[in-house]
Each structure stands twice: as structure tokens, then as C-alpha cells.
């Protein structure tokens, strides 16, 4: 009987969205977040129309963590966890992510900008370390929010080009 239950629950466990630092991306509600974390509200995100918050890196036990920002959508569901870390952690963080998630793409030159993209469930995980920067980004973003962001930012860029063209 236990084997049957485990077999039935295995797909649910295998495809659960990532939860960096206990923040279940695509699942955690704003209410759950506020009950669990002390944070600073940073306003409304123009892409998701939901609230944004900053967490103190000191409240999370992860070496090299510089900042943690979270974004909720208009339905009060967590859609993004955006972090900054010491760039020196790139290789170790990359190895940790590679052991947990499906690697989609990577660019890791000996010298230069390093990046990697992973996927798990409905979440895309991006790791980016610019060449001359001392910090790197590690972002967990739902695919729906990423799609919405790309579409909306492309529209903003298109409008800006039209405004510039109209001035000539």
C-alpha cells in the first residue's frame, strides 16, 4: 500500500517548483510570505502588478548573499525571487543548481561573462555573472511572468523607438 501511495505522489514531488530559501516560486501566497518573513515593501511591480519586497540577506543563512527581492503577481502569488551574490560563488552555486535542476543552457568561459539557465516545473532559474562585476545574479522566475515581462518590455521598447522616429 505504501508503495502505491509513493508511486502516485512521485510525479507531484518530482515536478514541484523550486523553493529557494523557503520561498516556493509559483506557489507561495503573499499572506504566507508575510507570516514567515520580515521584509520591506518596495511598491508595485510594473510587470506583474503585484507587490515587491526586499528581504535582509542576514535573515537567510547563505554565504555571499547580498540581496533578495521577491515579486508577487496581482493574484498575490510569488512569481520571482531575485538575488545578488558574490561572484566568487559562481562555480559552487552552478554545481548546486546543476545537481538539482535541468540544465537548459550554459556559457562558462575561462575569462568573461558566465551564465547558466536551468528549469524545474514552471520556473526558470538564471545565473549570470558579468565579466567585470564583483557580484552575480541568481533569479528564480515563473515562465508565465518571464513571458509577460518579455512581451511588455518589447512593447515599451517598440513605443520608445516610434517616439524617437517621430522626432526625425
Q: Does residue 4 carry a pLDDT above 80?
A: no
Model confidence at 12: pLDDT above 50: no
| Alpha carbons 168 and 164: distance in angstroms, whole number | 7
Q: Where are the domains of the chain?
A: 19-166
pLDDT digits (tens, 9 = 90+) for 121-136: 999 999 999 999 999 9
Query: What pLDDT, on the 0 to 100 scale, is given for residue 157?
Result: 86
CATH topology of domain 19-166: Protein Transport Mog1p; Chain A (3.40.1000)
How far out from the chain centre does Cα 140 lie?
Answer: 2
State pTM to two decimals: 0.84
Instruction: Kindly list the strands in the beta sheet with 39-44, ordered across the sheet, starting from the edge strand earlier in the chain.
Output: 39-44, 49-55, 65-73, 78-86, 135-142, 123-129, 114-120, 102-107
Amino acid at each position: 500500500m505504501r508503495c502505491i501511495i509513493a508511486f502516485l505522489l512521485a510525479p507531484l514531488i518530482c515536478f514541484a517548483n523550486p523553493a529557494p530559501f523557503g520561498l516556493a516560486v509559483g506557489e507561495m501566497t503573499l499572506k504566507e510570505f508575510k507570516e514567515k518573513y520580515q521584509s520591506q515593501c518596495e511598491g508595485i511591480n510594473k510587470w506583474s502588478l503585484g507587490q515587491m519586497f526586499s528581504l535582509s540577506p542576514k535573515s537567510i543563512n547563505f554565504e555571499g548573499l547580498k540581496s533578495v527581492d521577491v515579486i508577487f503577481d496581482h493574484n498575490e502569488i510569488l512569481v520571482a525571487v531575485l538575488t545578488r551574490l558574490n561572484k566568487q560563488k559562481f562555480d559552487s552555486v552552478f554545481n548546486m543548481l546543476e545537481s538539482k535542476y535541468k540544465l537548459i543552457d550554459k556559457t562558462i568561459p575561462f575569462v568573461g561573462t558566465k551564465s547558466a539557465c536551468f528549469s524545474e516545473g514552471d520556473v526558470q532559474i538564471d545565473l549570470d555573472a558579468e565579466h567585470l562585476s564583483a557580484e552575480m545574479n541568481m533569479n528564480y522566475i515563473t515562465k508565465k511572468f518571464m513571458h509577460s515581462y518579455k512581451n511588455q518590455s518589447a512593447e515599451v521598447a517598440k513605443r520608445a523607438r516610434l517616439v524617437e522616429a517621430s522626432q526625425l
